[in-house]
Structure formats: structure tokens, C-alpha cells
Amino acid sequence: MKRNILITGGAGFIGSHVVRLFVRKYPEYRIVNLDALTYAGNLANLRDIESEPNYIFERGDICDTDAVREIFRKYDIDGVIHLAAESHVDRSIKEPFAFARTNIMGTLTLLQAAREAWNGAWEGKLFYHISTDEVYGALGSEDTPFTEATGYDPHSPYSASKASSDHFVRAFHDTYGLPTIITNCSNNYGPYQFPEKLIPLVINNIRHRKPLPIYGKGENVRDWLYVEEHARAIDLIFHKGKVADTYNIGGGNEWRNIDLVRVIIGVADRLLGNPDGYSEELITFVTDRAGHDLRYAIDSSKLEQELGWKTEVQFEEGIEKTVRWYLDNEEWLDGVTSGDYMKYYDEMYDKR
């Protein structure tokens, strides 16, 4: 194989799109997917490529030092794309220690394993760490978007854990010379997202005529990036990015939560054959999240100017494709919301 790439969290939402892209685009690469298969990991996300000869799945915890070292040894790993993370802010408020364990100690475990395995032979090696725009804190309504020079100011246990992991990645480059790259992305949306997140939650609740919960008055603003665009950016940065550098990846689509929900309602009602505005009555305002950041927005101009990346999927197209995918894949959505998707893991391991 030309490359042996370890992708962590590859059974999750963003990770599954990255795994699929690399497996199909680079048949000469061996892609090793390491995932602990917690609630957000779903092997059904990868059924279409699970039998490809250049794809390998390993179930494991990134905090398990011995298991991670063995994967580096067994597959002669020369590149890491690190996506595995706890990522839901509400969960981090309830379970901050779980986020510290996975996001900080898991990243540290991977960094140390890479340093030991490569042992100063850095040529052709790369540790690529995927982070979030939330490490930058919050923006006011008139503030300019986050750039790579924006100072860190995390406000939730989730963003604090990701900020810490970012610092460890940079420290391993500065201290040991480990070749690293970090990217910070805006909110992703698209197929295979776990339905605790806003967009799939709203789509699923519209299907079942359930309330559409919106924090506060729905005035919080997020920048939305179609997940396949993010995967394409990761591919470009992995191959062309500058070692020890940071790149921001944004969708250039800022939406207030209430406006976004109304757009989804419009698309879903049309596709379901409902009258215009039929599901508006389901909107329900709920008590705001603790420490809820007002606005995130990403400036991707560095990535665009230095590596030539630009968004190709406009928001209207992306949201149409997303809503349509969830409505066309009710079996997947029902399997996830019911918990039945976990049975697929057992079936997979019975075959091994």
C-alpha cells in the first residue's frame, strides 16, 4: 500500500464521510478505521464500503494505550486523521469528565503512540487533528468571523476539552517535532448525523409530528458546512497542507436557529406533501442552554487562498439534499432513534 492511514472515529457522522471518500478515492491507500462504537458510532454508516479490500475496521478506545500502539505497529501507520471525539455540548454540561477523557486523554494517547512509532523519522508522516470553531468562544452580532489568529476562549466543557487537545497537538510539534496540522470547522450538516443534533432532530420530529425544541428565542447564530464539503477539505489539507499550520473550514452560511428551523420546515413539508407552513405550529421554545454562545462564524479565506479550496454546495442545495436523505432513509433514522442500530455491531462481530 502507498499509505497506511488511521482514521479515528470513522464510524461517526463526519468520520464516515471521510472514510468513504478516502477508501473510494485512494484504492492504493490502506484505511484503518478505529472507533469505540459508542452511541454516536454506527457501522451502518459504512455498509457501502465495508467490503472494500483497502478498508479495515478496528473496534477500540483511543484512550487504550496498548491497543493504539498495537494498531500503529500492526498496520505500519504513517498518517493519522483524528476525528474521534465527544461533541455534544448538552452532554458535556452533564458529563464533563467523559469529554475530558476522550477529547484530551484520547488525543494525548494517539499523539504519544505516533511519536513512539515514528521515532523522529518524520518524513512522509502526519498527525492531522480535527477541531471545532467553538474553541474560539463567541462572537457578537457585528464581530468579524473567526480567523486562525483568533485567541481561544472556550465556554463549555466540550469546547474546553477540544481547546486543550489542540494545545497538546501543537505542543507535540513544538517539543518533539511531530508533524501536525489542526483544522477548526463550523457546524456540519448532512446525511448520517446522529439525531440529537439540531437538523436531523427537527427533520425526524416533523416526520412524527413532535415538538421542535429551540433554545431561548432561537437567536443564536451558527455557520453551516455541508459534511461532504468538509471531507473534501480534509482530503486537500491532508495532502497539501503545511505542517504545523492551522486552517479554518467554514460554510459561509450563517443562520439564526429559528430561521434555519423554518427553512427545514418548508423543505420537509413540501417533500412530505404537507400544506405550506403545516409544521410551523410544532416550534417550541425551551429554556436556553447554560453558557450558550451567541454566534459562531468562520473565515475560510486562508484555506481558499493558500490551497484553492472553496465551497461547491450552496446552502439551499445542501439542505434540500439533507432533508431528502433523512426522509428517504427512514429505516436508518428509525434504527438510530430506537437503538436498533446497535444490533448491527453484534452481527458484524458474529461474522469475525
Task: Report the C-alpha gap between 159 and 151 in whole angstroms.
Answer: 13
* 339-351 as b/e: b if 16+ CB within 10 A: eebeebbeebeee
From the list 35, 61, 133, 148, the catalytic residue is 133
Task: Report the C-alpha gap between 125 and 131 in whole angstroms.
Answer: 20
Query: What does DSSP say about strands 283-286 and 212-215: parallel, antiparallel, or unpaired?
Result: parallel
Spell out the residues 6+ positions from residue 92 whose beta carbon is closer than 8 angstroms to its own.
Answer: 86, 98, 99, 156, 157, 158, 161
Annotation marks residue 134 as catalytic: yes
Q: Inter-axis angle of helices 315-328 and 330-338, to 10 degrees?
A: 70
From the list 35, 61, 134, 293, the catalytic residue is 134
Annotation marks residue 133 as catalytic: yes
SS3 129: strand
Nearest to 298 by CA among 198, 187, 199: 187
Task: Report the C-alpha gap between 110 and 17 in whole angstroms.
Answer: 21
CA angle 220, 261, 256 (to 5 degrees): 25
Residue 136's CB is within 10 A of a number of other CB atoms, namely 26
Nearest to 112 by CA among 178, 166, 48, 167: 178
DSSP sequence for 168-211: HHHHHHHHH---EEEEEE-EEESTT--TTSHHHHHHHHHHTT--
From the list 158, 192, 226, 296, the catalytic residue is 158
Annotation marks residue 64 as catalytic: no
Burial class (CB in 10 A: 0-12, 13-18, 19+), 233: buried
The sign of the dihedral angle between the CA atoms of 143, 148, 152, 156 is: positive
Task: Report the C-alpha gap between 178 and 126 in whole angstroms.
Answer: 8
Taking the CA atoms of residue 248, residue 252, residue 253 and residue 255 in that order, the dihedral angle to the nearest 10 degrees is 70
Q: Catalytic site residues?
A: 133-134, 158
